[in-house]
Chains A and B, each alone.
Chain A
Amino acid sequence: MTRPVTDGTPIRALSGRAVDGLTVEAVRAGEVGVADLRIHPETLERQAVVAERHGNPQLAGNLRRAAELTRLPDDEVLAVYEALRPGRSTPAQLTELAASLAARGLPRCAALLTEAADVYARRGLSA
C-alpha cells in the first residue's frame, strides 16, 4: 500500500491548531471548539493536488471550491446553496451574489454562480 502524500506534512485545523494537540485531555480542559475540528483550506488544496495527480481534475476543482468555502460560516454556506436551487434567484441576484463572493476571496465559487446565472436564464431555472 502506498502512503498518502500528505503524510509527514504537519496538519492544522481551521483554527490554526496543530492536530496533535487535539486530545481528550484538551477536551477535558474545555480547550477544544468546533473550529478545531474543521478542515483547513491548505489541507484541501494539498488534497486537490493529489486528486489531480490521480486522474480526477474535477475532484480537484471541487476541493478548491471547498477550500474557499471554509471561509464562510455554516448559515451562509446554506444560504448560497438555497440561492442556487431552481426558481429561488433572478439572474441578477445570482450575479450580485457571485460578485460578493469574488470580492471576499472566493473566485471559484463566484465563477460557478456566474455560470449558473447565465444558464438559469436560458433554461427557465430563474425566479
Chain B
Amino acid sequence: MTAPEPVGRIRFMDRQRVNLDGFAVENPELGLAALRSPHDPEPSLVIADGRVTELDGVKEADFDSIDTFIARHGLDLSVAGEAMALSDVAFARLLVDPAVPRAEIIRLSAGATPAKLARVLAQLRPPELVMAMTKLRARRTPSNQAHVTNRLDDPLLLAADAATAAAFGFREVETTVPVLGDAPSNAVACLIGAAFGADGVLIQCSVEEALELELGMRGLTSYAETVSLYGTEQVFTDGDDTPWSKAFLTSAYASRGMKMRVSSGAGAEVLMAGASGKSMLYLEARCVALARAIGAQGVQNGGIDGASVAGSVPGGLRELMSENVMVMMRNLESASGNDALMSESDMRRTSRTLPIVLAGSDFAFSGFGSIQRYDNMFGPSNFNAEDIDDFLAMQRDWGIDGGLRTVPASRLAEVRREAAEACRAVYAHLGLADFTDEHVDLAVDAAGSKDLGETDTLAVLGAAHAIRQRGLTVVDIVAALDECGYLHEAERMMAFARARLSGDYLQTSAIFDESLAVLSAVTDPNDYAGPGTGYEPSPDRQAEIDAIRQARGVADLRAEQARWAVPLLAPAGPARPGQGPRDVVIGVSPAVGRDVWRCLSGLAVTDVLRELLAGLEEEGCVGRVVRFNDSVDLGRIGLAAARLAGSGIGIGLQGKGTALIHRRDLAPLANLELYSMAPSVTPELYRLLGANAARHAKGGTPDPARNPYSDEAIEARYHTTVIALMELERRRMTPGVPPEELALEGLT
C-alpha cells in the first residue's frame, strides 16, 4: 500500500527552496553532532614538572601527533591551573561581560585545553556569541575578503574583476584556478588588476601548497590561507601533512615575508569518515589550539567546505560561529568562513551570515564571491556578485561596517577599463600573450565570463607557463607597468613591496589600509568594552556606507518629474461653481501641472486625466479639471471638487495617481470609490472611474472597480517616492489661494 499523497499545504511547502537542502538526523557516531557528543572527552590537564602528562582525558603515552604538538607548544602552563579551574559557565560569562577586558580572556584562554574551550563556547546563546565576537576579535576595524575567479582563467576579466573587488572595498583578493597550470597567470592578472581598484590589497592564489609558496616567493602573491589543519590524526595524515610539516610551512611563508593563516572548520572530518564520534566543535577546538601552537597568526574557519554539513544538524550555525569566536579567544585572526553556499534558501544563507556581519570580524567572509556564482571556481560562496547590492543595503540598514562600499557606475567602468588595458599591455610587453581590442571591451563590460564568448584558453596556459619558466617576479611586473606608461601603478606596487619589508603585516589580523598603513592586533587593537567603545565607522566611512547608489532624495525626484513636463494644464482662471446636472469636476493636487507630471504607475498625469474625461464623456457627463492649491489631502480635494460640480459629484486625483469619487454631502474621509494602489492602476481602471463618477452623477448604478492586488513589496518599492512626491505637493500648497481651472486643451 502506498502512503496517501500529502495534503495541499504540505505539497505547497515541499516546493519551497529550503526543501532542496539536506537535513541530517543528529548522529554522534558519524560526527554529525554540532556542539557536543557523548564521546567528547571531559576537559582535563595534568602537569608534572612543567610538562603536560594528560590532555583532555588522554595520557601522555597515548598522545597522538596533534595532542603532542598542542601539549608541547600550544598551552601557557602558567595560567593553565587558573583557567581549567573556572567552571564552564563562569568562563562563558567572562566572554560576554563588557567589564572584563579582551586581554583577560586572551590570558586565560591560553591555558585552556581544546575540550575546555569547546565546553565554554557551547554555553553561549546566539546573541551572546555576537557579543563575544564584538569584544574578542583582534583587529578593531572589521574588513572583508573577495573571491576573484572565472571559468576561463581569462586574465583581462580577472584584472577587471580584481579592480572591481578592490574598488568595492575588499582588502584581500583570493583567486584560484579550474586549470592548475593557469595559476601563475591568475596571480599576475589579479595583482595588476587590484592595483587599479585601490591601494594595499593583498593577493592570494590558492593552489597546491608548493606552487602557492613559489608564487609568494616571487612576490606575485602576498598571503596564503589554504594551509589546512584537521582535528584527527588520521584525517590530518590523509591530507598528506603533520603538525610539524605545517609548522615548518608556516615558517616558510613568514621567511619570505608572506602573511599566512591556516584553514580548518567543521565537517571536514565527517566528510572523510574520520570524526571518531566526536562533536564538530571539539574537533575544531583541536585545530584552533594547533593553529596557535604552530605559530600561525590566524585561522580561516566556520565550516568552510563543510559548512553545509554543520548546517544539516541541530545547532549547526551556532557551532560555525563558535569556531570563529574560539579563534579570537586564542588571540588569532579570524577569517570567518561564509565562503560556501550552505543553503538553497536565501533566508537560511542570510541567517547563517548575518550575526557575524553584525558583530564584525577581521574578515566577515573568506571570501565573498565578488564574481557571479557560476564563475566562482571555489564553488559558489554564501554571498556572491548577485548579492553585493543586498549586502550594501544590509550594511546601511544596520549602520554597520561590513567592509564594503558603493562604487559609482562611472568609476567602476573606469577602473575595469584601466585594469583590463594594463593587463593586456603587460602581457604583450612581456611576450606572454596578445589580446584584441574587442576582448578588452568585452572584459570591461562583462558581468561574467559567459559574456566573453569563445576565448583562447591555450593562450592563457601558455602565458602561465612562460611566467613560471622564466621565473618572472613582481619586479618584472613593476618594470612592465612602468614601460607601458602606468607609472602611478608601478609606484604603488613598489610602495607596497617596500611596506611588506617592514614585516608589520605578519602580525595578527594585519591588513593594509589605502594609505598603506598596517591595521593589526598591534596597531589597531580591538578595545570594545561596551556601548560607546570599540570600533565606530568614522563620519566619512559612515557616509560611504549610507550613500548606496539607489538612494533618492526630493531633488532627484523633482529632476525626474521635470523630464516628463509637457506644455499642457495651463491655468485658465479662477474655478467657479458649475450649473448643469452633468457637470463633474476632477480636482487635482497643488503640484499637478507644475512639478508633478508622472504617476507612480508610470502613466503621465495628462494621460490619466484623458482617461477620466473620456470615461465621463462615455456616460454623457462633462468633466472639468480644477487644481486645488490649499490642500494635499485627497479626501478634501475630492470633496471640494464635488462641491464645485453642478452634479455634486467630484473626482479627486493626486499627482502620484491615487484617485477617488466624492459626493458633496459626504464627510471628507468618506468616499464612493477609492483607488488606493496608485502604482498598479491601469488606464482602463481610470476610464472606469470616470464612467462610474458619471453614473453616480446620473443616479445610475456604477460598476465598482476592484483594486488591483500584488504580492510584491509594492510599499518598499514606492514609499520613498511617495514621501518625496508628497513633499513636492506640500511645497506648492498655499492656504487661502483659491482653486483654479486648468485648460482642457490637448486632453479631450
Contacts and interface: CB of A to CB of B under 8 A. Distances in A.
A86 B391 CA distance: 43
Interface string A42-53: 011011001100
Given A34-B219, A58-B293, A112-B244, A86 B255 contact: no
Given A3-B523, A22-B498, A80-B248, A43 B503 contact: yes
A84 B244 contact: yes
A55 B330 CA distance: 10
Given A46-B503, A65-B295, A39 B256 contact: yes
Contact of A56 (B65, B73, B331): B331
A2 B524 CA distance: 7
A1 B507 contact: no
Given A32-B475, A46-B503, A119 B252 contact: no
A115 B248 contact: no
A84 B65 contact: no
A20 to B, nearest CB: 8
Given A4-B523, A59-B508, A11 B251 contact: no
What DSSP secondary structure best describes chain B's contact surface?
helix
A4 B296 CA distance: 20
Contacts of A77: 213, 252, 255
A62 B250 contact: yes
Interface in A53-68: 54-63, 65-68
Contact of B491 (A24, A54, A82, A85): A24
Contact of B295 (A55, A61, A72, A120): A61
B294 interface: yes
Contacts of A86: 237, 240-242, 245
B475 A34 contact: yes
Interface stretch (B122-130, B163-171, B514-522, B577-585): B514-522
Interface string B202-240: 000000011001100111000000000000010001001
Contacts of B475: 27, 32-34, 36-37
Contacts of A54: 331, 507-508, 521-522
Contacts of B65: 119-120, 123, 125
Contacts of B507: 4, 47, 50-51, 54, 59
Interface in B514-548: 517-525
Given A32-B475, A37-B474, A65 B251 contact: yes
A6 B255 contact: no
Nearest to B140: A1
B487 A24 contact: yes
Most buried by A among B68, B217, B501, B522: B501
Contact of B244 (A33, A67, A74, A119): A119
B248 A112 contact: yes
Most buried by B among A4, A37, A55, A112: A37
Contacts of A82: 210
A62 to B, nearest CB: 3
Given A4-B504, A24-B491, A84-B244, A44 B523 contact: no
Contacts of B106: 55
A125 B295 CA distance: 22
Interface in B468-516: 473-475, 478-479, 482, 487, 490-491, 494, 497-498, 500-504, 506-508
B655 interface: no
A123 B219 CA distance: 37
B255 A123 contact: no
Nearest to A39: B257
A27 B523 contact: no
A70 B255 contact: yes
Contacts of B294: 58, 62
A109 interface: yes
Contact of A115 (B72, B103, B250, B502): B72
Most buried by B among A5, A60, A125: A125
Contacts of A55: 103, 106-107, 110, 331
A66 B251 contact: yes
B292 interface: yes
A78 interface: yes
B242 A81 contact: no
Please tell me the size bucket of the interface on A: 35 or more
A2 B503 contact: no
A70 B501 CA distance: 13
A23 B494 contact: yes
Contacts of A28: 479, 482
A99 interface: no
A2 B139 CA distance: 12
B94 interface: no
B705 to A, nearest CB: 64
Contacts of B501: 11-13, 19, 22, 37, 39-40, 43
B74 interface: yes
Nearest to B476: A27
B297 interface: yes
Nearest to B66: A123
B603 interface: no
Contacts of B26: none
Given A54-B522, A125-B65, A22 B254 contact: no
Contacts of A36: 475
Interface string B290-320: 0011111100000000000000000000000
A69 B252 contact: yes
Given A69-B251, A81-B252, A84-B244, A47 B74 contact: no
Given A37-B473, A39-B257, A86-B242, A74 B72 contact: no
A54 B297 CA distance: 12
A47 B503 contact: yes
10 contacts: A11-B501, A11-B502, A22-B494, A27-B494, A40-B501, A47-B503, A55-B331, A62-B295, A65-B255, A85-B242
Interface of A: 1-6, 11-13, 19-20, 22-24, 27-28, 32-34, 36-40, 43-44, 46-47, 50-51, 54-63, 65-70, 72, 74, 77-78, 80-82, 84-86, 109, 112-113, 115-116, 119-120, 123, 125
Given A4-B522, A27-B482, A37-B257, 12 more contacts: A19-B502, A27-B478, A34-B218, A34-B219, A54-B521, A61-B73, A63-B251, A65-B295, A72-B255, A86-B237, A119-B65, A123-B65
